[in-house]
Amino acid sequence: MATKQKSRSKQAKSITLEGSTEIVTDFFKFAVNAILYHRNVYPADDFHMVKKYGQVVLVTQDLGLERYIDTVLAQVKEWLNSGSITQLVIAIVARESQLTLERWVFDIKLTLPPLATAESQSQSLPAPKPDSEIQSEIRAIIKQIISSNTFLPNLNEPTYFTVLAYTHDNPVTPAGDMSKPPSLWVDSDPLAIEQEKSQQVRLKSFDTQIHKIDAMVSYRHE
């Protein structure tokens, strides 16, 4: 009696738009925390250590700040899925003078149209990129943030941070203050540093094959 053999086709596990969005959103969460800790925007006692990307990183244990970051990133996640966000900026501002001291800029390029069909995705995507390679690229950026005190000026005055998201080239920022999570976003000043007083350091990038993130930091140099 002949037996039927099941045909098995090996399909490469290409990353999906949703999967890429999760990776990028997760990266932003740990990048923001690293910036706030290593640039002394919040006290060191407000953070605790966790293991991520094969290394120890610090995340806030301040519940108010944690809720704020999570709520901001929930909106960023929606924009990532829709392909409407082009840049995320973390601006560090001096409390007294209100001068922008640093702008951590993450350019976001969607390399795959967000409304592409499953068929077009399979045709347009290159060979799947190993997750270990993506994690390695992210780890390199986090390490640069961790070591930022070696190439950025010391911040010797009280500061606060603002999140700016560029959607269709318009900068918007969460409405309200840190006392409660943002319920809406409003048009914002870009909080730029005057060109003649700005120095830039280009950081590394990572690419999920759907989203490409290029990072840099500009700082005030008097």
Q: What share of the chain is helix, strand, coil (3-state, %, to 5)?
A: 35, 30, 35
For the stretch 11-22, pLDDT in tens is 447 889 999 999
- Collect all residues with Cβ–Cβ distance below 8 Å to 161 and sequence separation of at least 6: 35, 36, 41, 90, 91, 92, 93
- Where does residue 145 fall: left (phi above 0), alpha (psi -120 to 50 degrees), or beta otherwise? alpha
For the stretch 7-55, pLDDT in tens is 333 444 788 999 999 999 999 999 999 999 999 999 999 999 999 999 9
Query: Which residue from 167, 147, 173 is spatially nearest to 93, judged by alpha carbons?
Result: 173
- pLDDT for residue 187: 86
Residue 108 has pLDDT above 50, yes or no: yes
Query: Which residue from 14, 17, 69, 78 is spatially nearest to 47, judged by alpha carbons?
Result: 69
| Distance between start and end Cα atoms, the chain | 86
Question: What sign for the dihedral angle of Cα 168, 183, 35, 192?
Answer: positive
**Least confident segment among 42-56, 101-115, 139-153:** 101-115
